[in-house]
């Protein structure tokens, strides 16, 4: 009986859901302003796209990419058509903010104006406004004026613990683009695997990219991983990584590569043990946690890291390079003669300051090459490097401290932004997940601007990011299940002004409509609970 009533509850929930989705005109993330007009525009095979201005052609191609995924045909791109058009205008002369756009729909046509990123986002909003019935595609008359609240709207994917292939990365980028997320933080290295081809160090991909263990077990097991001899891993060639950079750029997304140092480096040491603190041998780790391995802070390590970063910078043109810096077992340096000598020579107080000295040196190298260093909040310990940006993950405190010191900050607190945590209070009803309980509303209601900061200090909060760690995530299906719909909630945290957010409206109107877009992209998402939708 209980089962039956649950089924009925689910059914009525999803029917209410479908009905609302038909009626409501919604865009996720919620725009700054929406004004409804009279009438509607019909998109047919005779509708053409007019691309005006530099780069508008590229955005037109993106229109067709997303449109074709959903409706199975493309529209002609021509500059001669004057009626029945969708005009993408990057040369309107209206000066709009970065990534801002204006979208106007009336019975005669559609116009989207802004700079390239803005028009691309106007196209994404339009995709969510197209209404399909009786094989006819219509868009109700509307004027949308929109711009982002935060410049940095990110998603981190850990491919170190489990490897995800290029088609899956592209799929994630498609969904990110549809949600107006603009930073893909690619966590490429960890104790459990190194994922990027580096020409100077071939053992990084012949040895460091592979391990001999897979997931078994589940809740209640102390460690559900064993070395069972099953080889797992993989890596991206430099050409594939470049392909992702371009694919992302076409979707207004900058890729931020992360190369972990000085901890989370066991996979490297398995191939190049001479760089490590211990005597080795090291193996690519097949279980999780903080491992007691660390780079020596000496010249061979700096040579290795600078060589690696040189190849990384040649692949990733974005300004930001993430160097990790989290969970470093600094006490290991207490046992190291090399480390202790450096502490003396450089008049450092302790191992914290030695880590700062290490990061500082890497920062100088990156800055010299025109790049900016990002690190996890542990890089505050022992003193921040002069120009570093801090990613605050152990709550907000690191971000607050960094902003007070005049440093830029990205908020990714594990209390609100860790989408590796479970989506139900009773974790055992959910697929195996690390950490605590992170429901949709806790993601949605996050405000990245701490009240304890002055408005000048708040300007250092560049934005927000969700982190997808993959210790327990081995398949594409599970990856998508963990990400969605929580990443849709993240998108609204990053894009929509706090005073315009409304969780009830998000779950009852916006999300039901948006889920159709995810279906069009073939994404597996967790169906929100009946009381949520």
Residues in contact with ligand TNX by CB under 6 A are: 326-327, 376, 393, 418, 420, 434-435, 469, 471
User: Is the CB of 189 or the CB of 508 nearer to ligand TNX?
Assistant: 189
C-beta closer to ligand TNX: residue 194 or 393 = 393
Q: Which is nearer to ligand TNX, 130 or 434 (CB)?
A: 434
**440 near 489, Cβ under 8 Å?**
yes
Give the burial class of 170: count Cβ atoms within 10 A of its Cβ; 0-12 exposed, 13-18 middle, 19 or more buried: middle
Closest separation in Å from C-beta 192 to ligand TNX: 10
Helix boundaries (H) for 261-329: 266-271, 299-315
Min CB(462)–ligand TNX separation in Å? 18
- Phi and psi at 514, nearest 5°, equal -70, -35
- What is the C-alpha to C-alpha distance for residues 50 and 80, in angstroms, rounded to an integer? 8
DSSP-assigned states of every residue in 2-17: HHHHHHHHHHHHHHHH
Dihedral pair phi/psi, residue 56, rounded to 5°: -65, -30
Q: Which is nearer to ligand TNX, 234 or 395 (CB)?
A: 395
- What is the rounded distance in angstroms from the CA atom of residue 359 to the CA atom of residue 446? 30
Which CB, 109 or 154, lies closer to ligand TNX?
154
Question: What distance in Å separates the CA atoms of residue 156 and residue 363, rounded to the nearest whole number?
Answer: 21
Cα dihedral across residues 6, 10, 12, 13: positive or negative: positive
CB of 389 to ligand TNX, least distance (A): 14
Q: Which is nearer to ligand TNX, 365 or 469 (CB)?
A: 469
- Ranges assigned E (strand) in 121-170: 131-133, 136-146, 152-158
Residues tagged active-site: 327
Q: Could you say which DSSP state residue 101 is in?
A: E
Closest approach of ligand TNX to the CB of residue 209, in Å = 18
Calpha distance 531→282 (Å, rounded): 49
SS3 for 232? Answer: strand
**Shortest CB 407 distance to ligand TNX, Å:** 17
| Residue 59 Cα distances to 28, 62, 113, angstroms | 20, 5, 11
Residue (417 or 518) nearer to ligand TNX, CB: 417
Q: Which is nearer to ligand TNX, 21 or 490 (CB)?
A: 490
CA distance 448 to 399: 10
Q: How far is the CB of 218 from ligand TNX (least distance, A)?
A: 17
d(CA 363, CA 357): 10
C-beta of 263: minimal distance to ligand TNX in Å?
9
Nearest CB to ligand TNX, comparing residues 144 and 400: 400
For β-strands 232-233 and 210-211, DSSP reports them as antiparallel
| Cis peptide, bond prior to residue 281, ω within 30 of zero | yes
Angle between helical axes of 337-345 and 351-368 (0-180°, round to 10):
80
- In angstroms, the CA 11 to CA 205 distance is 49
Shortest Cβ distance from residue 501 to ligand TNX (Å)? 25
Residue pair 404/457 in contact (Cβ under 8 Å)? The answer is yes
Report in angstroms how near the CB of residue 62 gets to ligand TNX at its nearest: 33
């Amino acid at each position: 009986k209980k089962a039956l009533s649950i089924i009925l509850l689910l059914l009525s929930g999803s029917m209410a859901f479908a009905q609302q989705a038909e009626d409501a005109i919604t865009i996720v993330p919620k725009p700054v302003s929406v004004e409804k007009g009279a009438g509607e525009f019909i998109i047919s095979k005779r509708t053409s796209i007019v691309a005006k201005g530099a780069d508008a052609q590229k955005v037109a191609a993106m229109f067709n990419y997303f449109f074709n995924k959903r409706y199975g045909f493309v529209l002609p791109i021509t500059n001669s058509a004057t009626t029945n058009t969708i005009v993408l205008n990057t040369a309107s002369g209206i000066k709009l903010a970065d990534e801002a756009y204006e979208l106007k729909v009336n019975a005669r046509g559609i116009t989207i104006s802004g700079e390239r990123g803005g028009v691309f986002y106007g196209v994404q909003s339009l995709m969510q406004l197209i209404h399909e019935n009786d094989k006819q595609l219509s868009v109700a008359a509307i004027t949308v004026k929109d711009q982002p609240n935060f410049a940095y709207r990110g998603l981190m994917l850990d491919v170190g613990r489990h490897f995800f292939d290029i088609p899956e990365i592209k799929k994630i980028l498609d969904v990110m683009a549809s949600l107006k997320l603009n930073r893909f933080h690619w966590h490429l290295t960890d104790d459990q695997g190194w994922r990027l081809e580096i020409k100077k160090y071939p053992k990084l991909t012949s040895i460091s990219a592979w391990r001999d263990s897979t997931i078994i077990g589940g809740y209640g097991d102390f460690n559900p991983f064993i070395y069972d001899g099953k080889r797992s891993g993989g890596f991206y060639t430099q050409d594939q990584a470049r392909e992702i950079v371009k694919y992302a750029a076409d979707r207004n997304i900058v890729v931020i590569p992360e190369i972990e140092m000085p901890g989370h480096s066991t996979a490297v040491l398995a191939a190049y043990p001479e760089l490590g603190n211990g005597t080795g041998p090291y193996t690519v780790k097949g279980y999780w946690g903080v491992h007691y391995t660390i780079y020596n802070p000496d010249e061979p390590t700096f040579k290795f890291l600078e060589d690696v970063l040189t190849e990384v910078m040649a692949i990733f043109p974005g300004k930001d390079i993430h160097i990790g810096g989290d969970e470093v077992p600094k006490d290991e340096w207490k046992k190291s003669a090399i480390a202790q000598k450096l502490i003396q020579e450089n008049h450092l107080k302790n191992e914290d300051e030695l880590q700062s000295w290490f990061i500082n040196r890497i920062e100088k190298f990156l800055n010299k090459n025109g790049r900016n260093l990002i690190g996890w909040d542990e890089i505050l310990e022992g003193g921040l490097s002069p120009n570093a940006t801090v990613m605050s993950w152990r709550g907000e405190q690191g971000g607050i401290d960094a902003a007070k010191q005049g440093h830029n900050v990205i908020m990714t607190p594990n209390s609100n932004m860790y989408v590796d945590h479970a989506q139900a209070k009773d974790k055992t009803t959910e697929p195996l997940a690390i950490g605590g309980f992170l429901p949709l509303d806790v993601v949605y209601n996050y405000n990245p601007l701490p009240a304890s900061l002055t408005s000048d200090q708040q300007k250092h909060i560049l934005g927000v990011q969700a982190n997808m760690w993959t210790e327990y995530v081995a398949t594409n299906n599970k990856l998508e299940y963990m990400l969605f719909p929580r990443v849709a909630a993240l998108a609204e945290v990053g894009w929509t002004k706090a005073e315009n957010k409304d969780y009830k409206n998000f779950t009852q109107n916006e999300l039901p409509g948006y889920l159709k877009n995810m279906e069009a992209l073939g994404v597996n998402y967790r169906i929100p609970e009946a009381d949520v939708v």
